[in-house]
Amino acid sequence: EVQLLESGGGLVQPGGSLRLSCAASGFMFSSYTMSWVRQAPGKGLEWVSAISGSGGRTYYADSVKGRFTISRDNSKNTLYLQMNSLRAEDTAVYFCAKLSIEYCPSTRCLISHFDYWGQGTLVTVSS
């Protein structure tokens, strides 16, 4: 059974830093691209960042580029999100999500959907 368990959320002041972790189990962690998706209170889903199975490729939403860093430790089956220069608008529940297997319908390859999610960890940025 696939399980994703986030930790590391909490209250932080504007301009501060926080590191989220996501412990994964039940699948071949190193074979899958992993992602962070957030949801501000009462708002919709926002994709934040993703990292390839090997860790060699990383992707970021414009809203967090230059402030957040995604990484992974395949020996520990753990995904991380280092969040620096936090702002009030970063307040959200942060979900760790496993992406589906990459497929190549033509000359390019795609990763379709988020097939497993954690329960989320709340990050509150406030003074």
Partner 1 sequence: DIQMTQSPSSLSASVGNRVTITCQASQDIGNFLNWYQQKPGKAPKLLIYDASNLETGVPSRFSGSGSGTDFTFTISSLQPEDIGRYYCQQYDNLWTFGQGTKVEIK
Q: Applying CB under 8 A, which residues contact partner 1? A: 35, 37, 44-47, 50, 59, 61-62, 95, 97, 110-115, 117-120
Instruction: Please say which residue, 45 or 67, places its beta carbon nearer to partner 1.
Output: 45
Quote the least distance from Cβ 110 to partner 1, whole Å.
6
Q: List, in order, residues 6 or more apart from 2 with CB less than 8 Å away.
A: 24, 25, 26, 27, 98, 116
Instruction: Please say which residue, 38 or 72, places its beta carbon nearer to partner 1.
Output: 38
Quote the least distance from Cβ 113 to partner 1, whole Å.
5
DSSP string, 19-79: EEEEEEESS-GGGS-EEEEEE-TTS-EEEEEEE-TTS--EEE-TTTTTTEEEEEETTTTEE
Indicate the DSSP class of residue 88: G
Quote the least distance from Cβ 47 to partner 1, whole Å.
4
Instruction: Please say which residue, 16 or 21, places its beta carbon nearer to partner 1.
Output: 21
Instruction: Please say which residue, 30 or 59, places its beta carbon nearer to partner 1.
Output: 59
Quote the least distance from Cβ 59 to partner 1, whole Å.
6
Q: Evaluate whether 24 touches 74 at the Cβ level (below 8 Å).
A: no
- Evaluated on CA atoms 99, 45, 109, 66, the torsion sign reads negative
